[in-house]
Amino acid sequence: MRKIYLGVLALYLGILSSHAQTTQPVKDTTNYETRKLKLDEVNFVSGYYHQNGNNSAVTGGIGTENLTDFANTLDIQMSKVGRNGRKNTFTFELGIDHYTSASSDKIDPYSISSASRQDTRVYPSLNWTSSNEKTGNAFGFTGSYSHEFDYQSRGLGFNLTRVSKDKNTQFDFKLQAFLDTWKVILPVELRPPGYGSGSGHDDNRPVDYKPRNSFSASFSLSQVLSTRLQALFIVEPSYQKGLLATKYQRDYFTDGSERVENLPDGRYKLPIGVRFNYFLDDHFVIRTFYRYYMDNWGIRAHTAEIEVPIKFSSFVSVSPFYRYNTQVGTRYFAPYGQHDPTAVYYTSDYDLSSMHSNFVGANLRLSPPNGVFGWQHLNTLELRYGHYMRSTGLNSDIVTLALKFK
């Protein structure tokens, strides 16, 4: 994994320095005490992901799925108390992912390298939340943007939190909308005459652009059931409309013909989940989670997860975890060369097939009172590793480093 850029840490130290030089608050004639915008925390997360498999959807369900992704996010959280006594929190997040994909290189296997063999995604977002620190009630808005080689996305969100008077019950509601535009890239052998590759570098021939809009809601209710047991119930319905097929993925039919993937232009999703956290004693917590998923493409899935944080001290813990998933695939899926020529919709993407998977790993968390490695401002360090195994033959590893500065 790459080292953390010193520029990120320098930026953080610069913010701390400017914050430390603020003047003492003064009172106006209305007895309101002005408060400067202050830095609450800075979070930096860096992750490395690598996968291998032999069911690439780009080549019709066969071929390499080798892919690597290096992802980094930096978020800065600042706050200010307004004249009405409410706390206004501003969170700016910047994400940058870079991936290389061997399967995407097969979009045009006759070229030196396909345009989407590797790409960088940049996705900034800004959230404002207004909260009442006495009651815990809050509401806020989020705006986001994301850009990649073949798409760009604009997002809007709203969040609402309501807490009971005894603080034992909390209701959270979220709304999100993502308005995307996709560049329609086709496999080289299936491009109509005059249709471009979409690279934009040495090929200026026209290509199509299609919308894909996603709308989702989240309803969650958390409840303290006892001094040791907490529960969370969550429902997250969503709807997508537009280009939902990936047009550079090939499908092969029993008559020997070949076409680009075709899927319905509308999709409803309904995940329903429940989580229980049981505090066994001062050293052990048992966290369990179950989710049921369904959609109108015929996919049905069950996910169960358990994580057991073990506290060796008040500032060192290790959390082994295990997750199992089983899925009934969409009615539109068929392996390489097995699609019916009369079918209207078809895919050989194994993400949409019937399968089961296992994900196992552990998380190490350090949060010493004097700061990690004696650096007081480095409040928390977490290192997480997970290994994923799927019945289709796909295997992957992910390592994540998370740093919190306060």
pLDDT of residue 29: 39
Distance CA 136, CA 40 (A): 18
65 Rama class: left (phi>0) / alpha (psi -120 to 50) / beta: alpha
Long-range contact set of residues 301-307: C-beta below 8 Å, sequence gap at least 24 = 301/325, 301/326, 301/327, 301/328, 302/326, 302/327, 307/363
141: CATH: 2.40.160.40
pLDDT higher than threshold 50 for residue 39 = yes
SS3 202: coil
Detail the DSSP E strand segments found in 36-137: 38-52, 67-81, 87-101, 118-131
Residue 23 has pLDDT above 50, yes or no: no
Other beta carbons within 10 Å of 104: 23
Tens digit of each residue's pLDDT (9 = 90 or more) over 312-344: 988 999 999 999 999 999 999 999 999 999 999
Under the banding of pLDDT at 50, 70 and 90, the label for residue 113 is very low
Of 404, 405, 399, 386, nearest to 46 (Cα)?
399
Of 75, 77, 76, 80, nearest in space to 37 by CA = 80
Q: Give percent of the chain with pLDDT exceeding 70.
A: 88
Q: Which of 37-46, 106-115, 386-395 has the lowest mean pLDDT?
A: 106-115
Within a domain: residue 27? no
> Residue 20: pLDDT above 80?
no
| Alpha-carbon distance values, 239 to 142, 184, 353 (Å) | 19, 21, 20
Whether residue 31 is contained in a domain is answered as no
Calpha distance 216→238 (Å, rounded): 4
Q: Parallel, antiparallel, or unpaired: how do β-strands 169-183 and 258-260 relate?
A: unpaired
**Sign of the CA dihedral 351, 352, 353, 359?**
positive
> Which residues partner with 140 through β-bridges?
129, 159
Inside any domain, residue 1:
no
Residues of the domain holding 235: 6-22+36-405
Q: Tell me the average pLDDT of the chain.
A: 89
Residue 30 falls inside a structural domain:
no
235 pLDDT above the threshold of 70: yes
pLDDT tier for residue 358 given thresholds of 50, 70 and 90: very high
Domain assignment present for residue 274? The answer is yes
Measured CA to CA, the distance from residue 9 to residue 223 in angstroms comes to 38
Single-letter residue type at 391: S
Establish if 29 belongs to a structural domain: no
d(CA 173, CA 349): 33
**Which band of pLDDT confidence, cut at 50, 70 and 90, is reported for residue 110?**
low
Domain count, the chain: 1
Model confidence, pTM: 0.86
Q: Would 381 be classed as within a structural domain?
A: yes
Average pLDDT of the residues in 385-403: 98
Is 28 part of a structural domain of the chain?
Answer: no
- Residue 115 pLDDT: 42
Rounded to 5 degrees, what angle do the CA atoms 36, 44, 366 make? 100
How is 143-177 classified by DSSP, letter by letter? EEEEEETTEEEEEEEEEEEEE-TTSSEEEEEEEEE
Look at residue 119 in the predicted model and tell me its pLDDT.
Answer: 83
